[in-house]
Amino acid sequence: MLDLFLELAALRSPPGEEREVADVVAAYMRDLGLDVDEDGAGGEVGSTIGNLYTRLEATADGIPIFLCAHLDTVPPDGQLEPVVDDGVVRNAGGTILGADDKSAVAVMLEAARRVLAENRPHAGIELLFTPKEEVGLLGAAAFDHTRLHAQVGYVYDQAAPIGEIILGAPYSQAMKVRFHGRASHSGMYPEEGRSAIAAAARAIADLRLGRVDDETTANVGTIQGGTAGNIVPEWCSFDAEARSHDERKLADLVREMLETFAFAASLADCEVETSVKKSYRGYRFKRDDLVVQLAAAALERSGHAPTYGLSGGAADANVFNERGLPCLNLANGMTAIHTSDEHIAVDDLDAMVEVTLALVDAARGS
């Protein structure tokens, strides 16, 4: 399993360019004797691959489950040279490791291998590997979830110690904002210009950004504008987002942000265009929900005390929960994801295999 993870981590797979990794994963599953289906989502979402899906037919009664992980990573900005250093896997190339989410991929494949090799009775297991999760959960959104026989699902996509169960993820709205001003020569006729950059700067300065409250955040992530240093800028665009675990709070915050944009434009005698798009829908589980109970039982069986928390981000689980198929996100021990210090302990990789097998057993026992 460690060798498989090192092999996967050494392959580049930024969003939309997951083919090399997908081929390794598909070949591994076929070597296990599994039929692998790749759907047509690649063309729909702009990826070199579609979703990879396979099913282990049930050999016992119980609750069928599906396991899901994404094959893409945030784009690496250096070499991928995964190494094992004192029991911890790191990247010696000065960029991300890709444990998010290739550690989950390797764990789920190893667990499937163990189930088959040990003739372990189970109530049905489906594996799904998606593209372009990091840029909007696009692969999962393009997957036909009605193909799944499972009643509950699990992703391992939370950077926290093993044992943490994510009971909820936020709702999110994305905003594209473009200010229109008037160009003029900045030295000869500055008074004739209307600076779109100044208007956008005023708007951003007036926003409540960062952690708005214990359930809500907001951010401006990119900005660009103008044409030259000696021209009063006639345009400026930026991307913003807002997230909240409370859908009503999110609606109120988005409305506040739109009003802020309009007010700043009016003060600068500019115009502003805005578009708002749902990024993903949030969800919330209770501790006595079946999908949570199975996970808690599996963690306890494998020696981990369950803890419960909320996530500030999204995962493929958001897509399935929006479609009415309960899907839970479990922490898997990866640390400092999306940074050059990203790492994961070999013991945590091994432990998550045992958690997965315990989850299979818990579902069969139900």
Supply the residues annotated as catalytic: 72, 133
364 touches 301 (CB < 8 A): no
For CA atoms 218, 222, 226, 232, give the dihedral sign. positive
C-alpha 282/C-alpha 170 separation (Å) is: 4
Length, in residues, of the chain: 366
Closest CA to 277 of 128, 168, 175: 175
39 Cβ neighbours under 8 A, 6+ residues apart: 50, 51, 53, 142, 143, 144
Closest CA to 127 of 43, 191, 34: 34
C-alpha 173/C-alpha 61 separation (Å) is: 41
C-alpha 325/C-alpha 328 separation (Å) is: 10
